[in-house]
């Protein structure tokens, strides 16, 4: 297909496609004339993956390039690739740097109680310490019991996430689907949680849900 068709089928503007070509995120098409090239279904698939990683996943170009180079290197196992992509996705919290020793320790203690591997100093561990600190500063500190219960629910969610991803077989598809599910999943869970709260609150009071 010509670039115009690639643009239309992927919903990506032509200047963006040209930018990806220059940055090496998308391989060049097969040259068919002085100013023309032909693109394949392979290009379309790769383009969709790049869009998912940048637009949905919010990854910087350098991180996308690294993930793609792993996709293309023979012998990279799907699980390593998946692990790397999961690790690259930025945690959905702004880093304020306003975290105490105490918050960092609480994250490590929680990981210990649950048998999770959480390396101190990594972005995700710091992100969790930030959230724990925010509760504390808002005057409603999370108890260990409550934190552990939420973590147990998160473990259930992650199992659903990984099951969904495991059902997909093409490497490009796995990564694209991972990014879409992980990132959109935050909003999905937040909305479902609101509905479930209203419902659970009504159930406990014996009333019908007063859903606004």
Measured from the CB atom, the residue of 31 and 193 that comes closer to its own copies is 193
**Residue 204 binds to its own copies (criterion: CB under 8 A):** yes
**Residue 209 binds to its own copies (criterion: CB under 8 A):** yes
In the complex, minimum distance from the CB of residue 29 to its own copies, in angstroms, rounded to a whole number: 22
**Residue 59 binds to its own copies (criterion: CB under 8 A):** no
Measured from the CB atom, the residue of 52 and 68 that comes closer to its own copies is 52
Q: Interface residues for its own copies in 93-132 (CB under 8 A)?
A: 93, 111, 116-119, 122-125, 127-128, 131
Q: Interface residues for its own copies in 135-154 (CB under 8 A)?
A: 135, 138-140, 142, 146, 149-151, 153-154
List the one residue from 26, 52, 99, 174 that touches its own copies (CB under 8 A): 52
Q: Interface residues for its own copies in 152-181 (CB under 8 A)?
A: 153-164, 166, 176-177, 180-181
In the complex, minimum distance from the CB of residue 36 to its own copies, in angstroms, rounded to a whole number: 28
Q: Is the CB of residue 38 less than 8 Å from the CB of residue 29?
A: yes
């Amino acid at each position: 297909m010509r670039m115009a068709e690639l643009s239309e089928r992927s919903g990506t503007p032509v200047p963006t496609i040209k930018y990806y070509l220059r940055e090496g995120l998308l391989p060049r098409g097969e040259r068919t004339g002085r100013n023309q090239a032909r693109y394949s279904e392979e290009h379309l698939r790769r383009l969709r993956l790049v869009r998912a990683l940048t637009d949905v996943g919010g990854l910087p170009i350098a991180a996308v390039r690294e993930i793609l180079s792993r996709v293309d290197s023979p012998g990279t196992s799907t699980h390593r690739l998946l692990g790397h992509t999961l690790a690259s996705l930025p945690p959905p919290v702004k880093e304020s740097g306003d975290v105490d020793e105490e918050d960092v320790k609480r994250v490590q203690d929680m990981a210990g109680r649950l048998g999770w591997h959480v390396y101190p100093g990594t972005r995700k561990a710091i992100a969790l310490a930030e959230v724990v600190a925010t509760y504390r500063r808002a005057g409603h500190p999370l108890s260990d019991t409550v934190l552990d219960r939420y973590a147990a629910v998160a473990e259930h969610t992650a199992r659903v996430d990984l099951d969904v991803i495991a059902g997909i077989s093409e490497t490009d598809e796995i990564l694209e689907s991972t990014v879409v599910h992980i990132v959109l999943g935050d909003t999905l869970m937040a909305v479902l949680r609101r509905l479930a709260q209203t419902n659970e609150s009504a159930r406990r009071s014996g009333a019908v849900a007063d859903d606004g």
